[in-house]
Structure 1
Amino acid sequence: MRIGALSTRTGVPVPTIKYYLREGLLHPGELTSPNQAQYGDGHVRRLKLVRALLDVGKLSIAATRTVLDSVDAPDSSLHEVLGIAQQALTPPVPADDGSADLREAQQLADRLIADRGWQVEPGSPARESLARIVLTYHDLGQADLLVLLDDYAAAAERLAVAEVAAVGRRPDPDSLVEGAVLGTVLGDALITALRRLAQENASARAFAAADS
């Protein structure tokens, strides 16, 4: 199919497809003339993947390119690909200011990781992100809510084990890697949506009747 048909089939405007091609997010089509190329089902699938990472996962163009490069790399292990996807999703944290409060938050994060026996690299962006979140709770006078930290960790661990097992059952290596990436990126959005729904339900049950 030509680029116009690819646009019609995917709902992605032609200028956007050309932009993805220039940015290396979409593989070039097969040239049939100096100004014409043919695209196939692989391009349709790739476009859907790109849109999912950008629109649902809210990744930047640069982060999306990094994630897709890891998907395309033939020698990347599933663990490596997951790490790249997680780094793309984890927002950058400010430079370490060496404050005692930050050190205390980092130590709390390290204790949680050690207590649960998690295999986490010392430089994991998620570890530093957790420490910064703990620090923010303290700064805002909400440290009492950190009593929920173990509940969050237990729920996250159960979910992570189930996610990895579900992806690991896929027999096709390409599908396995793609599932790992999408499961990480879209899973964050899915968890957020489900948590909002559960919070609305819990709030209605706990407070709505008392307010009426």
Structure 2
Amino acid sequence: MRVAELSRRTGVAVPTIKYYLREGLLPPGELTSPNQARYSEEHVRRLKLVRALLDVGGLSVAAVREVLDTMANDDKSMFNVLGKVQHNLAGQLAATEGERQETASRIAHELIERHGWQIKPGSPPLASLITALATLIELHGEDLLELLDAYADASERVAEFDIEYTRRGADRADAVERMVIGTVVGDAILSALRRLAHENEAARRLTGG
């Protein structure tokens, strides 16, 4: 298909597609003339993935390029690809220092130990959790800490579904793409579902409705 058809199929403007091509987020099309190229269904699929990483995941162009490069590297295990995705999704909270950070780190590591989770010391999600807990302590929201184990139990169940979804991939490339989509879009879905559940529970408990 021509670039205009690629644009129509994906809803992405032609100038944006050309920008993604220049930035290496899309592989080049097959040249049919010096100024013309043809694109395939693989470009449609990749373009939709790029938009999900940018719009839903909130990743920068540089982070998307890094994730895509890691996905394309057959020497990288799926575990390492997941780590790269998590690394680029993390870092949205600025780390604090001092006693609150130390307390938060202790709470996080104790939680991991209680649940028997296998977590690497430099795990980006672990750093994000510690920073979030430190912020919680700073805001005097310690009562919320009582819910950590319940959150962890629920997260374990969700993770089981996520990994099973990944394992359904037809091949390694499909499995890796499923993992990236499940991590990025899944986070957005879980966040939206949680807010919807809040709305429902508030209506049921606070309004009698």
TM-score range, shorter chain: over 0.9
Counterpart position of 1:134 = 133
CA contact (8 A) 1:81 1:177 kept: yes
The one-letter code matched in structure 2 to 1:122 is P
2: CA distance, partners of 1:110 / 1:72: 33
Residue 144 (structure 2) pairs with residue 117 (structure 1): no
The one-letter code matched in structure 2 to 1:82 is L
Counterpart position of 2:53 = 53
Given the superposition, is the C-alpha separation of residues 61 and 93 from structure 1 closer, same or farther in structure 2, using an over 3 Å criterion?
same
Q: Identity over the aligned pairs, expressed in percent?
A: 53
The one-letter code matched in structure 1 to 2:37 is A
Once the two structures are superposed, the pairs formed by residues 1-212 of structure 1 within 5 Å of their partners are 1-94=1-94, 97=97, 99-209=98-208
Which ranges of structure 1 fall in alignment gaps of 5 or more residues? Answer: none
RMSD: 1.4
The one-letter code matched in structure 2 to 1:145 is L
1: CA distance, partners of 2:171 / 2:47: 20
CA contact (8 A) 2:67 2:81 kept: yes
Given the superposition, is the C-alpha separation of residues 94 and 196 from structure 1 closer, same or farther in structure 2, using an over 3 Å criterion?
closer
1: CA distance, partners of 2:61 / 2:26: 12
CA contact (8 A) 2:53 2:64 kept: yes
Moved more, 128-137 or 191-200: 128-137
Residue 166 of structure 1, CA deviation? 2.1
Residue 127 of structure 1, CA deviation? 1.1
1: CA distance, partners of 2:134 / 2:155: 20
CA contact (8 A) 2:7 2:14 kept: yes
The one-letter code matched in structure 2 to 1:192 is S
The one-letter code matched in structure 2 to 1:156 is S
What's the secondary structure of 2:207's corresponding residue? helix
The one-letter code matched in structure 1 to 2:64 is T
2: CA distance, partners of 1:133 / 1:125: 12
What's the secondary structure of 2:81's corresponding residue? helix
The one-letter code matched in structure 1 to 2:126 is R
What's the secondary structure of 1:119's corresponding residue? coil
The one-letter code matched in structure 1 to 2:58 is K
Residue 93 of structure 1, CA deviation? 4.8
CA contact (8 A) 1:6 1:39 kept: yes
What's the secondary structure of 1:203's corresponding residue? helix
The one-letter code matched in structure 1 to 2:119 is V
Residue 205 of structure 1, CA deviation? 0.8
**1:75-128 deviation line (CA, Å, top 9, x unaligned):** 22111111111111112554563x122111101111111111111111112112
Residue 179 of structure 1, CA deviation? 0.1
CA contact (8 A) 1:93 1:128 kept: no
Given the superposition, is the C-alpha separation of residues 55 and 92 from structure 1 closer, same or farther in structure 2, using an over 3 Å criterion?
closer
CA contact (8 A) 1:2 1:39 kept: yes
How many equivalent pairs are there?
Answer: 209
Residue 175 of structure 1, CA deviation? 0.9
TM-score scaled to structure 1, two decimals?
Answer: 0.94
2: CA distance, partners of 1:24 / 1:170: 25
